[in-house]
Amino acid sequence: MIVVFTGGTGGTKLVQGLQQVVAAEELTVIVNTGDDLEWWGLHVSPDVDSVLYGLGGLLSKDRGWGVEGDSFRCLGRMKQLGQLSWFSLGDLDLATHLTRTAMMRAGKSLSEATGELAAKFGIRARVLPMSDDRVSTLLDTAKGTLTFQEYFVRERHQVEVQAVRFEGAEKARPAPGVIESIESAEAIVFAPSNPVTSIGPILAVPGVREALRRTKATIAAVSPIVGGAAVSGPAGVLMTIMGWPSTIAGVATAYEDFLDVLVVDRVDEAEAEKMSSVRVLRTNTIMRSVDDKRELAAFVLEACAAKQIGGD
Amino acid sequence: MIVVFTGGTGGTKLVQGLQQVVAAEELTVIVNTGDDLEWWGLHVSPDVDSVLYGLGGLLSKDRGWGVEGDSFRCLGRMKQLGQLSWFSLGDLDLATHLTRTAMMRAGKSLSEATGELAAKFGIRARVLPMSDDRVSTLLDTAKGTLTFQEYFVRERHQVEVQAVRFEGAEKARPAPGVIESIESAEAIVFAPSNPVTSIGPILAVPGVREALRRTKATIAAVSPIVGGAAVSGPAGVLMTIMGWPSTIAGVATAYEDFLDVLVVDRVDEAEAEKMSSVRVLRTNTIMRSVDDKRELAAFVLEACAAKQIGGD
């Protein structure tokens, strides 16, 4: 079993790559839910949706989020009606949130709803939200305390952040299957997601980090930092706030207690040579095409297999 | 003040006509909510929406319900996701239901939410749902007990009905303003709506019928029955179940304890001449154009004024 930790748009690309090289039944995706929000009364789970749309072949190629070919007519009317409109929900996308919310109001957990949605989208890989309990990524900023989506979407991450915290994490339980899949995995891959706000919430769920330290699986991470900056989004800035350098070394620091292999981009060769705490492998990590995704996924899995067989 | 009782699509046409001949501040619309339903977790109030869209200039001319130029992309996806799809909610229409539901979850009553929505749609007439308490029109049929929308939309009213009842009506209170507007009206108009399932629920709310009997206003009704059959929908069949003939005389019977003037179509001249219990006036009642709506509204108001001045 291959287990991948992901959140955000960069992570989804690697999940799509893994889908090309791993049998669906062998793939488990553990997804950040710290970005989840109640929007127009609906439970929206942006990172789970990105994974569902990515694996279901529905993800917008242009936007990297939401549904390919979606329209935004309801959103436009909501704006006219004076409702919040800074978070873009498409008309097709809305169906996902309406369905999930109906399932959850009927008493299903987020992971049950996610499993049912995945099945409806024809996905055979296992998609697990990190927890069925509510964990909210909150950022203390110059504009007060913001949820992740307020910071990332509404403020376009152009506001100074003082601290990041995961409200509810200390009482959250890992969703069913999360710990078991970590324990029984052959390889565990950290997608090139923001280590602070995409992976951080997952690691903040009690028991997850311990399971990662304990597992016999080889654990690899793909650096979301390339050439000293995030490929997209505010990972660099947020890593600095955590006291980590916004470099590949900072990524290694974020995962230092369990990481076996760090996969970095070729442009970071000089930086890679300075690192000794973890095995560092270089390849092309920028995923523009379907082939890029597949090749990176295959590279990461090979690195895990080599590590497993050859030792280090 | 002119007060109009309405429900359904035919009723909305006369409301639109009244909007042309009565100053907005002088018009109060009391609307059936017996058809309201929880759909995809949202509070949908079909007859209130028809009035809001009709008065707000948004009503689909072709369909007679929903928003002009709406699309149904979310609905199509909901169907693919295995959700109920027999009730057609458009993408623009959805914004109304999302907004209303958010208002009501925040503690507002249906009439408060309706007032706010009306203001957002630029409507200055007063739109009052009959009650803020839940009243459900239920039909005992050959297929079991159905809600009105299950009967009307899902089954296309092609199922035998044994009885009609208004669940919750006996405990429902008229919405704020309903009784007061009846008491202080100059004229009260019953739109050509189904007397059983569109007007019946309003009359079933305790206090409404008594206020109609008590008011000094002239009360006129436009017959939804033309030439012995309903202009649209199942009014004729449902009137028969109530023990009323499906004729203009049946309409007079439905309202016999308070009606002053019955406005019928010219085609019902012979039938009209047989009636003595109520003053019957004939005109063209089929509303195809904007002019038809205005002319019928003006005719009804003139009839009320003549009755008020001339006595009978």
Q: How far is CA A165 from CA A161, A191, A234, B212, in A?
A: 11, 21, 15, 61
- Return the number of CB contacts < 8 Å for A and B: 80
pLDDT tens string for chain B (312 positions)? 999 999 998 899 999 999 999 999 999 999 999 999 999 999 999 999 999 999 999 999 999 999 999 999 999 999 999 999 999 999 999 999 999 999 999 999 999 999 999 999 999 999 999 999 999 999 999 999 999 999 999 999 999 999 999 999 999 999 999 999 999 999 999 999 999 999 999 999 999 999 999 999 999 999 999 998 888 888 899 999 999 999 999 999 999 999 999 999 999 999 999 998 899 999 999 999 999 999 999 999 999 998 766 544
**Domain annotation covers residue B110:** no
The answer to whether the Cβ–Cβ distance between B78 and A101 falls below 8 Å is no
Whether A277 contacts chain B with CB within 8 A = no
Contact: A98, B40; criterion CB under 8 Å: yes
Q: Which domain holds residue A92?
A: 1-312
Give A-chain residues touching B74 at CB under 8 angstroms. 74, 91-92, 94-95, 98
pLDDT at position A208 is 98
Tokens of B208: 């409404």
Q: Report how far residue B310's alpha carbon sits from residue B312's, in angstroms, rounded to the nearest whole number.
A: 6
Name the closest residue on chain B to residue A41, using Cα atoms.
Answer: B102
Question: Mean pLDDT of all residues in chain A?
Answer: 95
Task: Report how far Cα B192 is from the mean position of its chain's Cα atoms.
Answer: 8
A16: closest CA among A268, A298, A311? A298
A41–B102: do the CB atoms touch at under 8 Å?
Answer: yes
Whether A71 and B91 lie within 8 Å, measured CB to CB: yes
pLDDT at A212: 98
Find the CB nearest B95 among A74, A102, A105. A74
DSSP sequence for B45-88: -HHHHHHHHHHHT-B-TTTSSSBTT---HHHHHHHHTT---SS-
pLDDT of residue A312: 44
- CATH, residue B287: 3.40.50.10680
Query: Does A40 contact B at CB distance below 8 Å?
Result: yes
According to the model, what pLDDT value does residue B44 have? 97
DSSP string of B287-312, one letter each residue:
--SHHHHHHHHHHHHHHHHHHHHH--
Distance from CA of A98 to the nearest CA of B (A): 6
CB-CB neighbors (< 8 A) of A83 in chain B: 95, 98-99, 102
Q: Does A96 touch chain B (CB under 8 A)?
A: yes
Check CB contact of B101 with chain A, cutoff 8 Å.
Answer: yes
CB B168 within 8 A of CB B133: yes
In a domain, B106, yes or no: no
Give chain B positions within 8 Å (CB) of A95: 74, 77-78, 80-81, 83
Rg (CA), chain A: 18
Residue B211 counted as domain residue: yes
Specify the number of domains making up chain A: 1
Verify whether the Cβ–Cβ distance A80 to B105 is below 8 Å. no
Q: By the 8 A CB rule, do A94 and A70 touch? A: no
Q: Which residue of B has its CA nearest to A105?
A: B41
Mutate to test the interface with B, among A71, A87, A98 (most CBs of B within 10 A): A98
pLDDT below 70 — which residues of chain A?
Answer: 308-312
Q: What pLDDT is recorded for position B309?
A: 61
The nearest alpha carbon in chain A to B75 belongs to A95
Report in angstroms the alpha-carbon separations of B108 from A80, A271, B118, B127, B237: 20, 59, 14, 16, 37
By CA distance, what is A38's nearest residue in B? Answer: B102
Query: Best residue in A73, A94, A100 to probe B by mutation, most B CBs within 10 Å?
Result: A73
- Whether the CB of A91 is below 8 Å from some CB of chain B: the reply is yes
The DSSP bridge partners found for residue B187 are B2, B218
Which residue from A minimizes the CA distance to B41? Answer: A102
B92 shares contact with chain A (CB less than 8 Å): yes
Do B41 and A73 count as a contact with CB atoms less than 8 A apart? no
